[in-house]
Amino acid sequence: MIERHRRPYDNVNQMVGWTPLVRLNRVAEGIRTPVYGKCEFMNPGGSVKDRIGSAIIEAAEARGDLEPGGTIVEGTSGNTGIGLAMAAVARGYRCIFTMPDKMSMEKVKLLRAFGAQVIITPTDVSPDDPRHYSQHAARIARETPGAVLADQFYNPANPEAHYRTTGPELWEQSQGRITHFFAGAGTGGTISGTGRFLKEKRPDVQVVGVDPVGSIIAPYFHTGEKPEGEAYAVEGLGNDKIPGTLDLDPVDDYVSVADRDAFHMAIRLTREEGLFVGGSAGLIVHAALEEARRIDDPEAFVVAILCDWGEHYLTKCFDPEWMEAEGFGMPGERR
């Protein structure tokens, strides 16, 4: 593995990637199958989306779409915006982001701390509604001189970044022993790019997508039909449309996890493992542990993506009053 931090970096973008892989212990008690978490919250911007920030900007520069002094526009649940903003400020670009109103205020404040302009849009609108955060972002990009739409849901630089970085890292960190890879899909970049790399290395690796109950991706995977999406509280994963960057060819299965189970596991990972993660990581780990228990194989090597840093959700799943108000309770409470 590459030895990190031995020498100075030229800029913050070089600090992205080579995040640690750590075995889960207390939350996996009684499960013989080893389960590991890929600590993407240890990227400098605090999430797996840091990997695509620089990649998207570099691709736009190479095409000639983004020139000095330009503006980067994107519709984001927060983490892609942070990854883009972090990469942008190092290059002198301005950023404008649209975000659905269900997202945490912590992420809004983080984006503004990077100097980005943030526009809040309604969550409960259809994907083709002009008020939808992705539609609103596209309009801003069209109307702003010198602007480029990052377009994470359709930009091939997104999955390519994971094919070039996340996949090779997991292969090396597991010494080629990885047997199961669990990830969610908001844009689909992580599971598509990483899954494609792992399948090329070892075709029998099981790539499993994890969706919040209410998202349409898991139902679409199993039926080929697009149902009406329903509201869910977990941020950053799932979708009410099928993104262009989502390639389901490397995916072997898709499972759905309820908000309550996702949030409870995020809290348990923090309190029992010392891994301070958000609800999306809880969602993925819950599914990975269920599968690890089922296969019951000490020779297997299960990896779950730990998507982002829990500090982004202090007013959400780490706030007992919010959890109670939403009807989720706290781990250990009977409902």
Which of 108, 127, 149 is the last residue before a domain boundary?
A: 149
Q: How large is the average pLDDT for residues 168-183?
A: 98
Residue 49 is a catalytic residue: yes
In a domain, 115, yes or no: yes
- Same domain, residue pair 73 and 165: no
**Burial of residue 176 (number of CB atoms within 10 Å: 0-12, 13-18, 19+):** exposed
The token duo for 165 is: 């970085």
The number of CA neighbours under 13 Å toward the Cβ of 66 is 23
Alpha helices in the chain (DSSP H): 50-63, 79-89, 105-113, 133-143, 157-164, 166-173, 189-201, 217-223, 259-273, 279-295, 320-325
Strand partners, 23: 36
pLDDT tens digit sequence for 302-318: 999 999 999 999 999 99
- Same domain, residue pair 168 and 33: yes
> Are 98 and 132 within 8 A, CB to CB?
no
Based on the structure, what is the number of domains in the chain? 2
In a domain, 7, yes or no: no
* Distance, CA of 59 to CA of 15 (rounded, Å): 19
* Distance, CA of 315 to CA of 110 (rounded, Å): 14
- Same domain, residue pair 123 and 177: no
**Residue for token pair 């994890």:** 210
- Same domain, residue pair 83 and 180: no
Residue-level pLDDT at 173: 98
**Burial of residue 68 (number of CB atoms within 10 Å: 0-12, 13-18, 19+):** exposed
Distance (Å) of CA 13 to CA 17, 52, 146, 150, 180 = 9, 10, 23, 17, 29
Question: Is pLDDT at 2 greater than 80 in this prediction?
Answer: no
- Same domain, residue pair 54 and 38: no
- Same domain, residue pair 224 and 311: yes
- Same domain, residue pair 25 and 82: no
Q: How large is the average pLDDT for residues 132-140?
A: 94
Which of 126, 149, 172 is the last residue before a domain boundary?
A: 149
pLDDT tens digit sequence for 33-59: 999 999 999 999 999 999 999 999 999
Residue 102: pLDDT band with limits 50, 70, 90: confident
- Same domain, residue pair 128 and 247: no
More confident call, 3 vs 263: 263
How confident is the prediction for the chain on average, in pLDDT?
Answer: 95
Which of 114, 149, 184 is the last residue before a domain boundary?
A: 149
In a domain, 294, yes or no: yes
In a domain, 235, yes or no: yes
pLDDT over 70 percentage in the chain? 98
pLDDT tens digit sequence for 68-98: 999 999 999 889 999 999 999 989 999 999 9
- Same domain, residue pair 168 and 297: yes
- Same domain, residue pair 31 and 169: yes
In a domain, 6, yes or no: no
The neighbour count for residue 6, using CB atoms within 10 Å, is 6
CA torsion angle 173 274 162 83 (round to 10): -140
Q: The CATH number of the domain where 56 resides is what?
A: 3.40.50.1100
In a domain, 252, yes or no: yes
In a domain, 269, yes or no: yes
In which domain, by residue range, is 101 found? 50-149
The token duo for 157 is: 């630089």
Residue-level pLDDT at 335: 47
pLDDT tens digit sequence for 148-170: 999 999 999 999 999 999 999 99
> Are 330 and 319 within 8 A, CB to CB?
no
* Distance, CA of 207 to CA of 181 (rounded, Å): 5
Among 49, 107, 199, 316, which one carries the catalytic annotation?
49
pLDDT tens digit sequence for 198-251: 999 999 999 999 999 999 999 999 999 999 999 999 999 999 899 999 999 999
The token duo for 207 is: 């790539």
In a domain, 199, yes or no: yes
- Same domain, residue pair 132 and 246: no
Sign of the Cα pseudo-torsion (285, 287, 292, 293, in order)? positive
- Same domain, residue pair 176 and 84: no
Residue-level pLDDT at 5: 78
Q: What Rg, from alpha-carbon coordinates, does the chain have? A: 19
